[in-house]
Structure 1
Amino acid sequence: MQVEAMNSAMRVAIIGSGPRGMSVLERLVARLIEADSRESVEIFLIDDGYIGTGRVWSTEQSPHLLMNTVAQEISAFSGPWDGIEARPGNGPSFAQWWKLHREDYSQFGGYGPRAYYGEYLLYVLSAVERSLPPHVTLDKLSARVESLEEADATQLLYLSNSETLEVDRTVLATGHPSNHLQGFEKTLHDYATRTEGVAFMAGDSVADMNLSEIKPQQKVGIIGMGLTFYDLVAELTMGRGGEFIPQSDGSMRYNASGCEPRIYVGSRSGMPVPARGFNQKPSDYEYHPAIFTSERAFRIIQNGDVHFDRDVLPLLEAEISLVYAETKLRLKKGEDQARRLREYVINHQVDSVEGVSTFAHILGLSHPMAIDLYKLANPFRGCTFPSIDSFNEVLHSLLAADYEEAMRGNVDSPMKAALDVIRNSRSVIRLFVDFGGLHPHSHQNEFLRKFSPVSGFLSAGPPVFRILQLQALIKAGIVTVIGPSVKFEPAVGENGIVMSSPSVQDSTVTVKVVIDGRIPTTDITRDRSSLTQSLLEKGIYTPFVNRKKDVVFETGGVSVTASPFHPIRANQTIADKLYVLGIPTEHTRWFMQSGSSRPHKWIDFMIDADAIATDIVQGGGEKYDSNQVKKQHYATTGTL
């Protein structure tokens, strides 16, 4: 069935209605209101999950699944709220909405359940719909886009409900992929498929995993100890009726329901993701770097041949060490000494950890610590343990230390304040990395394989109370951490999958179910989506290749132009009626999994959405200067 065009209306399809797609919709309607044109516009918001939330933010998921960013730092509106009726460009932050619509804000330590954020996104969608100008319509289509074809000036979208939709512009904001398995994941999947009583669950959003198949007391192995691990543990414990009981000494005790499985877990590092520091910063907090600045980045980039370990990481670690040292100075010597350290660093153009340490020592800090990110992320490297129990004793002490630091806060804990620099420096890191800024070898091996997972590990942790919960579960015998570098292999002579750590003696455990607790990486060549594969087959999508002379690295992310992010076809022409945003472009750009903007300023998330909206409204005639608009927005909001 053909969906008829609305007279001569401009038709825009947004494929994917998660946070990225919703941000484009919000900015598009804001730009249309601002343009005050009478041209008819028909917008199609398409999702095969839940319209307005996507599947990751479904309102039907468990309340135990939490976000890892504090609510007061999140807004899906592109402007601060004036307290009147919400509309595009003017609406409450997630925290403001939460406090108005629910009475449990204080119960989660400021970290919202993902289902709540889904409700908030639906609130944003409702505000957008109420604000549509008379000449603009919004059609919400619950369907999967199976394929896309380019006509002379339009695109044909073939939907899973057998309809065909013809549009003038298409925004692809399709979210997390489901990949064809390879390597040991495929080995485990194939083994489980042919072996009775054994199951393997591929990496995915926990809300979409069928955990009901796991039986009480059944031995379950989890690959990875990142944020998904904490979600899985919450669902397999609290989600099955267990309770955490606060104790007088500040710890927690787990009261089991008897429906829990026995959980065994391991990862490369053997360390669960540390907690984020208790938030002490206001929602409009801005960090202004002294060493790892955009000005320095531009100078380095102009010289060319940028290698991450040689040219970028030393500056970032120097900035991190500066915050660590000035926090210690402030606590021991007062604000003036901390301020003097930063002034010395800026005035003397310090660009190394050694330089920071020298001035910190002069100002009275006897042992300023140099931050080694890789050591922090791999605390058990080179260690061996005589048993799982001995390993877990050491792990318990590290978790206790992490909890203590996290409770000191992200301002008063030198370590947590320092690690927040990683989050605050993402925009500078992108200057080096995006669109093949690094040498291909460095991009692949130094940045993506080494630094990127470590940066996420150290800067994107769970709420601090998750650490207490994990300690309680380990003590109760519900969760057992096997150790670092855990291997997963089919069992020989019995039905099961064997887990073991080469660093821990007698650590072999046979489990019946293995869950991959890692989010699938972006690789359009492995993506099982029929839409992605059709775009590849037609040459509309092609993987971005970082190429320097004879060194080549095919990234797996969609090759796109700079803002407003048109796909670059296989024949090197530009598909200027299409836009690709977010996760499909990961590796071409960096950290595209971000799902929100800030209440007081536009970060790249909203700048990108506005770039696309502006290009659509302008008909692609005037190319978009994202840096200029960013400066204009900061100037208007007073945040530059």
Structure 2
Amino acid sequence: MTGSVCVVGAGPGATCLVERICANASKMAGWRPLDIHVVDPSPAGRASGPETRPPGVRVQVHRARAVDLAGRWVLLDDGTRLDTDAVVLAQHHLDVLATPGELELLGFARRHSLYYRPTGYAGSLPLDHVPGGQPVLVRGLGKVFSEVLAQLTTGRGGRFRCDRDGEPTYIAGGREPLIHVGSRRGVPAPALIEYPLRGDHPPAPRFVTALADRPHDFRREAWPLVAKDLAFAYYHEILTAHPERARMRWADFADAYAPEEWGGKAMRALIRKAVPRFEDRLNLTRLDRPLAGMRFGDLPGLQRWMHGYLAAGLSRRADPAHSADLAMIYGLRGVLGVLAERAAEDPWFQRFADHAAGGLPAARLAELRALGRAGIVTFLGTDTRVEPHENGTWRATGTTVPGSLTAQAFIEARRPGPSVSRTRDPLVQRLHTLGECVEESGLLKVRLPDRRIVDHAGAAHPRRFAFGPWTTGGEGTTLRRGLDAAVIRHADSLARTLLAETLTPAIAKVA
């Protein structure tokens, strides 16, 4: 008799899960064959299963959408019915309906003939109706903004060319709008780091493991332990890979560091002694909010600062002399995995993690800087708000520069927050309506560590699982460049659980 697992989704997390199922199945000699069904309307060749999959394991990709679960059956929108022993909801993200606030803004835009684009994913952002040559207000400086920027610049005939120093210069096509962009933090995430560590892999998280499950106050209970682990990884690289810039051996530093309270006087003194140069020390506050407390008298002053900030960041992230930054990211990866196991979700920390780990390739940030120099992009600073104005336009304000700016077009260049209750996904929507899954802070609730879906009565389903960033404990299941070890670990654990459920040895079945 053949076992069967259905994986709904074909994105990076689902692909990782399928690979781990195959890898673990190859070690289980004498177990019955296994069919892995991957369901996604547009898998684009992903999750087809390793060519290294073991004998007896078949991976079948269904280009369809899962719409219902009924007992052992997964029902697809093309009429297919899959008989499975277990099903995993592993969609990369869930599209959601507009929030009540977004619906109000859409109504305001219609009444005043304005352009408004709510939050959404990059693939769903047609921007043909944004007028060229006119100001457009944009909120968000992450990956969605990068896609918006491409559509409104090179997508309208503009191009980049390299100057003598290798720096990109933007040549306008003539149909670009004037893009005024701000965000909560006011700056884009640092560039992704392309080089490897100089020293050994940093220590695994050591301090955050003492955290109790589900801290009530993340900043007070969890952050000091998180920060201590991040700094531990950072200084491990400084002291072992760049000893010429240190004044202490790693073993001595580690022994003195472990008992001290994060941010305390003794720890600060220890770090000053071990790492004498100020520029070699880790400043997490500065990394998180580089514009905090800064005020400029006008927009040109802010633009000069932003261009210098981007240039310095690009230089630092390309220089292996600063490989301690990469070690800190490795430490962050481990911390995310620990927090996911404790269901310690915190929106502020997730935003910090996404920012600190790096957002775009260096080339994209260099192009953003070029667009700023060309006058196509103007930065608005921190805590940018865009609201309807009484004169029938959009008005942007912030805390970095005084005054306001108005425009006829407004784009939310951000991904929507998770919401099971507002999802467009027909399967999750139906399960939620029937009470067969529940929402917790917008996320699909699963039981940890085995990730079984929890229903309205608090019971964990024996054959239904969920794996992804839109589930509780999901921060450690988000594939990010350079942050995939936690994903692999969680996928590996879930794969073993699935195989234990579906590949019961024949002898046990007979018994």
Bin of the TM-score, shorter chain as denominator length? 0.7 to 0.9
Amino acid at match of 1:49: S
Amino acid at match of 2:66: V
SS of 1:533's partner is helix
**Match of residue 417 from structure 2:** 521
CA contact 1:498–1:510 (8 Å) conserved in 2: yes
1:66-81 counterparts in 2 under 5 A?
none
**Match of residue 509 from structure 2:** none
Do structure 1's residue 425 and structure 2's residue 332 form an aligned pair?
yes
CA contact 2:454–2:461 (8 Å) conserved in 1: yes
**Match of residue 61 from structure 1:** none
Change (3 A) 1:433 1:535: same
Do structure 1's residue 510 and structure 2's residue 396 form an aligned pair?
no
**Match of residue 391 from structure 1:** 302
Amino acid at match of 2:163: Q
Percent sequence identity is 22
**Match of residue 489 from structure 1:** 387
CA contact 1:341–1:359 (8 Å) conserved in 2: no
Change (3 A) 1:194 1:162: farther
**Match of residue 345 from structure 1:** 254
TM value normalised by structure 1:
0.69
Superposed CA deviations along residues 270-295 of structure 1, whole A, max 9, x for unmatched, are 2222223452437x962115xxx33x
Distance of 1:194 and 1:417 partners within structure 2: 53
1:621, distance to aligned residue in structure 2 (A): 8.7
1:508, distance to aligned residue in structure 2 (A): 0.8
Do structure 1's residue 223 and structure 2's residue 130 form an aligned pair?
no
Counterpart pick for 2:458 among 543, 552, 572: 572
Do structure 1's residue 44 and structure 2's residue 37 form an aligned pair?
yes
Distance of 1:594 and 1:540 partners within structure 2: 27
Distance of 2:391 and 2:211 partners within structure 1: 58
Superposed CA deviations along residues 389-410 of structure 1, whole A, max 9, x for unmatched, are 222122222222222322323x
Stretches of structure 1 lacking an aligned partner (at least 5 in a row): 1-7, 54-120, 438-442, 544-553, 623-640
**Match of residue 60 from structure 2:** 139
1:474, distance to aligned residue in structure 2 (A): 0.8
1:580, distance to aligned residue in structure 2 (A): 0.8
User: How large is the Cα RMSD of the aligned pairs?
Assistant: 3.4
1:160-559 counterparts in 2 under 5 A?
160-182=77-99, 184-196=101-113, 198-204=115-121, 206-281=122-197, 286-288=201-203, 293-294=205-206, 296-301=207-212, 307-321=217-231, 334=244, 337=246, 340-341=249-250, 343-347=252-256, 349-351=258-260, 352-353=262-263, 354-363=265-274, 365=276, 367=278, 371-409=282-320, 412-413=321-322, 417-418=324-325, 420-432=327-339, 434-436=341-343, 447-448=346-347, 450-494=348-392, 496-512=393-409, 514-543=410-439, 554-559=440-445
1:541, distance to aligned residue in structure 2 (A): 1.0
CA contact 1:597–1:605 (8 Å) conserved in 2: no
CA contact 1:384–1:503 (8 Å) conserved in 2: yes
Greater relative contact order (Cα 8 A, min sep 6): structure 1 or 2? 2
Amino acid at match of 1:608: H
**Match of residue 611 from structure 1:** 493
Change (3 A) 1:193 1:18: farther
1:148, distance to aligned residue in structure 2 (A): 1.8
Distance of 1:28 and 1:328 partners within structure 2: 38
Amino acid at match of 2:294: C
Distance of 2:100 and 2:363 partners within structure 1: 35
The number of aligned residues is 502
Amino acid at match of 2:63: S
**Match of residue 72 from structure 1:** none
CA contact 1:221–1:263 (8 Å) conserved in 2: yes
Distance of 2:181 and 2:202 partners within structure 1: 36
Distance of 1:506 and 1:301 partners within structure 2: 45
SS of 1:301's partner is coil
Change (3 A) 1:184 1:382: farther
Superposed CA deviations along residues 442-479 of structure 1, whole A, max 9, x for unmatched, are x6xxx42x332122212223222333212210111111
SS of 1:253's partner is strand
TM value normalised by structure 2:
0.85
Change (3 A) 1:201 1:217: farther
Distance of 1:355 and 1:257 partners within structure 2: 57
SS of 1:245's partner is strand
Change (3 A) 1:19 1:359: same
**Match of residue 69 from structure 2:** 148
Change (3 A) 1:473 1:10: same
1:363, distance to aligned residue in structure 2 (A): 5.0
1:2-151 counterparts in 2 under 5 A?
9-37=2-30, 39-53=32-46, 125=48, 127-128=50-51, 131=53, 133=55, 135-149=56-70, 151=71
Change (3 A) 1:318 1:250: farther
